[in-house]
Structure 1
């Protein structure tokens, strides 16, 4: 299947500090690309993979499960870890669940995690019907494009494939159980006005992770896809500050030299 315009994965070879970016459920790398470009411009090595079943048509997601999405994020992380001295993970929405699982699984190999409107639990009481409903109805109306900024558009599906939505619930349960194993520094940014993911998601993450270095920022002017919204620059700037604070000066210098060269 041809990719939707803008849904292509992105990679940039920069300095010895790597950043993995993970997009959300039914979304695509397009929602993270401006962020990836900012990180690349700062001299970091950047990886923004396309998760399986995404970026083409919603029907292609029906055959995929959370294990497939996680495996791709894990593969991209391993690739970065092989060539970089430090790796950070930045994520949006469901990508937040995948990032938290990476953090729980890989421990000190991940230097820090940046989460934007992370999705780690169900906000819809009807989700209890998914085990049966997914065999009767293939899809429901989509959740993409929750953006306050006029003229800003997310490249994502206009339908939610229900087999995949059911699997998303399995991912949430898995990640919730692993949250106490997350000990890395965390920067969590969330929108009070989010029509896709409730504030209870961020509250759950903050309550259960074991991290002692935690920063929480509110995205007052943005909806769910805040990376393409009014507060995008705030996200980019805060994440760069977060990474720079946690990277030894020598690595920063090498990254800057690499970028200039």
Structure 2
């Protein structure tokens, strides 16, 4: 499969931003996109473009002290501010659109879960490589010492991204490495993540682990069995703990953590779009049934 070009990605993002301004072709269905911690919209690959093709208004979000372009390593962010930004966006979109869904990657998926646990306004959530804890095979042993080091006051450091950058595809990995060296950001996110942001993410993960039963929106989880950042256990815990009537998990066998740009990216995109579209269709059918059930019976005009 060919890797998505920078032109395709830029076009998808530009089109997505236009959709946000104009409300989409039918102003009926909106999908919020959340990238990973200190990442960018490049991480979402071809998902924005394909969602737009099926008639969804695509709403990519950048968040203060969460997105790479708005990150200040000297600021200690509060994960609840990240959550509040998304909740506010959901509330505004619900005034314009019939349904609102969220698709998040990595920590963006965790953020989507945090919002879904506190909101009944979401139709569907798509969780791509969700993280409840950093327990993948490439996570260094000293990762668990982050809290101790941070709480001891040592906070002016960053975690630097390294091989394999969440990507199994060798050619794509090489391009990512070059982009990180040149620009400091690539399709996998930023070249480094500040300690303050990692600590905020840890606190959000702890909240989400306790709040999973509050999630009731339709939920799709797509996770690699070889995820080097978050083991399959993360997806299994979510699947078992949430209260969603509609829940589905898809396991991938030929990619690492950043599944949106790796070897099975087409599967990820297609399954994401189909799940959201199916949720919209089911929602429409449910509204029709409710309307018929509560409509007044026709009068017999023969009398």
- The correspondence for 2:85, drawn from 72, 83, 90, is 72
The gaps in structure 1 that reach 5 residues or longer are: 253-261
1:65-122 C-alpha deviation (Å, 9 max, x unpaired): 3123222222332232221101111111111111112211112x21111111101224
Output the aligned Cα RMSD: 2.6
1:61 and 1:190 map into 2 onto residues whose CA distance is 33
Q: Which residue of 2 aligns with 1:247?
A: 280
Q: Which residue of 2 aligns with 1:169?
A: 202
User: 1:23, 1:31 within 8 Å by CA — same for their partners in 2?
Assistant: yes
Say yes or no: does 1:179 pair with 2:212.
yes
1:154-175 C-alpha deviation (Å, 9 max, x unpaired): 2522222111111111111111
User: 1:19, 1:87 within 8 Å by CA — same for their partners in 2?
Assistant: yes
1:28 and 1:188 map into 2 onto residues whose CA distance is 21
Which deviates more, 52-61 or 84-93?
A: 52-61
The gaps in structure 2 that reach 5 residues or longer are: 1-8, 136-142, 177-186, 286-303
1:178-220 C-alpha deviation (Å, 9 max, x unpaired): 1101122211100111111222211221121112321110121
Matches within 5 A, 1:82-231: 82-107=95-120, 109-123=121-135, 124-132=143-151, 135-142=154-161, 145-149=165-169, 150-151=171-172, 153=176, 154=187, 156-231=189-264
SS of the aligned residue for 2:103 comes to strand
Give the TM-score normalised by the residue count of structure 1. 0.84
Residues matched between the structures, number: 246
2:84 and 2:235 map into 1 onto residues whose CA distance is 24
Q: Which residue of 1 aligns with 2:43?
A: 31
Question: Could you say if the C-alpha distance between residues 58 and 20 of structure 1 is closer, same or farther in structure 2, counting changes exceeding 3 Å?
Answer: closer
| Offset at residue 57 of structure 1 (A) | 7.6
1:134 and 1:33 map into 2 onto residues whose CA distance is 38
Give the TM-score normalised by the residue count of structure 2. 0.73
| Offset at residue 25 of structure 1 (A) | 1.0
SS of the aligned residue for 1:228 comes to coil
Which one has the largest radius of gyration? Answer: 2
Question: Could you say if the C-alpha distance between residues 136 and 185 of structure 1 is closer, same or farther in structure 2, counting changes exceeding 3 Å?
Answer: closer
